[in-house]
Structure 1
Amino acid sequence: MNLALFFDPLADDAPAWGGTTLGAHAARFVDTFPDWRGADLAIIGLNEWRGSAAGAPTLPAAEAVRQRFYALQRGTGPCRLVDLGNLRNGLNLEDTYLRLREIVAALLEHNTVPILLGGSHDLDYGQFLAYETLDRAVSLTCIDARVDMVEDDDAPAEANHLRRVLMHEPNFLFNFGQLGHQQYLVPTSVLAALEKLHFETLRLGQIRDDVRQAEPLLRQADLVSFDLAALRWPEFPGYMPASPFGLTSEEAAQLCWYAGHNDQLTSIGLYGYRPDYDPHGLAAATVATMMWYFIEGYYHRRHETDFQSRRFIRYAVGLPGNPAKLVFYKAKRTEKWWMEVESLADHEVRRIVPCSYQDYLRAAQGDLPNRWILTQALLG
């Protein structure tokens, strides 16, 4: 597949980045399309805003972030990073979704992780569609101040894209996690619908109490969709309407580290940044740093998947009811926890899911962790 046909090259006006910066090491599409098949990660700029009620910003979002990102120092990894340029929009919005589907699917096939940068949040629908080609169930984690499930067919695409994801046929979504939402912005009926579907949510206040609670939800994801409007305006003046509440820049960077460190995650989208509201480039610098932490997390992956190896400690916890016991696994090196969930309806069906130390403590006290209950319902 010739991906170059779908992209516009970057302008040849970049500053002379020093030898230790990311700009000096990333292969950027200026004159020659980079070899994406040999890359670990690929940046894709998006300028599609037809799904937004506010329309397109006058300045390209991805370009503003790139100026800050490439000036950062490279991390500890080999930095096999390419920048494919900016995706050309389709004739209509649905064409852009399908174009994004093809490109992300091609990258997944060659184990190259796409970093989707810019555009309205509904573009995660195209990101999600790419996973239909994997012929297996996948998990999605969304970080957003709202839950975009408006039922009005006349609403802009950015207001109901999540509804399209959850209702997509054929259904290949195993699990969904919602992070960072603010309850006064989300109808109770929407949260009730997610609960009925046995999906896990973690509101903003819970993350503010302890950001580590978000790590298992991000560790279960195959793809992450991050609406940058989840950040609070005083630290991230890059979206409208402005909100005084939300994630801090440090918390957003921490979530991106968790996502990058997830062995099974294969794509991330950072959507919604509008440089028109960011005259000093503060928000652009925040997104650039989030990308840096995602990439650094990627190069610190431990590939902890063999739960029978000596890398793990196995814990069996007896319970008074059904099931009679729960099995937990703890990675010796990272001290991350997993929990084995065996279907009560079919004992041949089981899944090992990320969990927390608190889940283990709850089971040790004789109670079923809520994460076990939700996963059991999904295996049902």
Structure 2
Amino acid sequence: MNLAIFFDPLPEDPVGAAPVPTTLGAYATRFIDTFPDWRAADLALIGLDEWRGSAAGAPQGHSANRVRERFYQLQKGTGPVRLVDLGNLRPGLTLEDTYLRLREIVAALLENQTIPLLLGGSQDLDYGQFLAYETLERPVSHVTIDARVDMAEHDGARPEDTHLRRILMHEPNFLFCFSQIGHQQYLVPPGVLATLEKLHFETLRLGEVHADVRQAEPLIRQADMLSFDLSALRWPDFPGYTPPSPYGLTGEEASQLCWYAGHNDQLSSFGLYGYRPDQDEHGLAAFAAATMLWYFIEGFYHRLGETDFQSRRFMRYAIGLPGTPAKLVFYKARRTEKWWLEVESLADSSVKRIVPCSYQDYLHASQGDLPNRWILTQALLG
């Protein structure tokens, strides 16, 4: 596929004529004059300037270009960094056209095993990100990090307030599981959380992330795609969205979540949405978004390929239970000490799924209690 027809080149090189040799700008191939060879890349940065789904409209200034100015000044991490910058996506004639363009682009990158890094625009663009997975013809898992749960039904609701509902109701249904991280309960109608609970989806409130950010790691580790609304950060750490909020994730927590996402062997697309440069007088939010991208890339180049649970890289623990099931099987990675849980469908013993879990899940099982993650996964297996 000729992806170049969908993109505009960068208006100018954000790193200047001679990037510092140790910075990311010296390693990334950017679309200035010639479209980069994305087939040889591990990661592909895509700038988005589509705001028709937002009630606030388009900001002054291009959000992705502003972040690029900071991003390419950051020092290269420990990995080889095979990164291309495809430039800025040309919006479609309609918002729906933009979704479909994203679907085609992300699907082509997924087929090539190149991870798209989607930067800018309103969060409803993750609907196009999600549609690309329909081509995989297998169930996928989705994680959203957001201060709200965007499942509005009222008249006049904008796409950025309804996109999650659209994803959950999409037909054909190829969504296996969904997790919501970082929401603030006073911003979410109670019926919305009840709906997610009925669907056997997991949620992790902002307060729970503050208490221990590591609780989010197993949820992110099971995701194929992640959508991050940058308004989930508190305004003092990220003054780049509207309306401002004094509450939210800290910059350190947001960067840690991005590292978890990058380190997830399964995750194949990543979106940072909602940055508005006209709210960012001193470039603080642009620097924060650039740093979050840096942590994702650093996590990616620390991936270990921990998927062969029968290898010597894993320890296997079987725990007997007094009821049904009679036994639970856990796996622990020797190197990273991450835990997984094997869930066998009670309706069909031939259907099994190994899902990420925590050490606390193992402790609960050792005390005779079924972990909540087993119960939720069992319900999803049907």
Whether TM exceeds 0.5 here: the answer is yes
Shift of 1:13: 4.2
Structure 1 unaligned blocks of 5 or more: none
- Separation in structure 2 between the aligned mates of residue 237 and residue 75 of structure 1, nearest angstrom: 26
Partner of 1:229: 231
Partner of 1:136: 138
- Separation in structure 2 between the aligned mates of residue 71 and residue 177 of structure 1, nearest angstrom: 33
Partner of 2:290: 288
CA RMSD between the two structures: 0.6
Residue identity in the other structure for 1:112: T
Partner of 2:48: 46
Secondary structure at the aligned position of 2:227 is classed as strand
Checking the alignment, whether the CA contact within 8 Å between 2:13 and 2:32 is kept in structure 1 is: no
Q: How does 1:77-156 map to 2 (within 5 A)?
A: 77-156=79-158
Shift of 1:154: 2.8
Residue identity in the other structure for 1:319: L
- Separation in structure 2 between the aligned mates of residue 327 and residue 207 of structure 1, nearest angstrom: 27
- Separation in structure 2 between the aligned mates of residue 73 and residue 161 of structure 1, nearest angstrom: 35
Shift of 1:325: 0.8
TM-score normalised to structure 2 length: 0.99
Partner of 1:37: 39
Secondary structure at the aligned position of 2:215 is classed as helix
Secondary structure at the aligned position of 1:309 is classed as coil
Secondary structure at the aligned position of 1:328 is classed as strand
- Separation in structure 2 between the aligned mates of residue 17 and residue 153 of structure 1, nearest angstrom: 50
Partner of 2:12: 12
Shift of 1:242: 0.6
Q: How does 1:1-380 map to 2 (within 5 A)?
A: 1-14=1-14, 15=16, 16-380=18-382
Deviation sequence 1:49-93 (CA, Å, 0-9, x none):
000000000110001100000000001111000000000000000
Secondary structure at the aligned position of 2:33 is classed as coil
Deviation sequence 1:147-186 (CA, Å, 0-9, x none):
0000125311000000000000000000000000000000
Shift of 1:363: 0.3
Secondary structure at the aligned position of 1:253 is classed as helix
Secondary structure at the aligned position of 2:349 is classed as coil
- Separation in structure 2 between the aligned mates of residue 285 and residue 254 of structure 1, nearest angstrom: 15
Work out the number of aligned pairs and report it.
Answer: 380
Secondary structure at the aligned position of 2:144 is classed as strand
- Separation in structure 2 between the aligned mates of residue 17 and residue 65 of structure 1, nearest angstrom: 16
- Separation in structure 2 between the aligned mates of residue 259 and residue 231 of structure 1, nearest angstrom: 17
Deviation sequence 1:5-52 (CA, Å, 0-9, x none):
000001234323200100011000000000000100000000000000
Structure 2 unaligned blocks of 5 or more: none
- Separation in structure 2 between the aligned mates of residue 121 and residue 237 of structure 1, nearest angstrom: 17
CA change 1:324–1:359 in 2 (3 A) is same
Identity, in percent, stands at 78
Deviation sequence 1:262-299 (CA, Å, 0-9, x none):
00000000000001010100000000000000000000
Residue identity in the other structure for 1:178: Q
Residue identity in the other structure for 2:22: T
- Separation in structure 2 between the aligned mates of residue 263 and residue 208 of structure 1, nearest angstrom: 25
Shift of 1:136: 0.2
TM-score normalised to structure 1 length: 0.99
Secondary structure at the aligned position of 1:180 is classed as strand
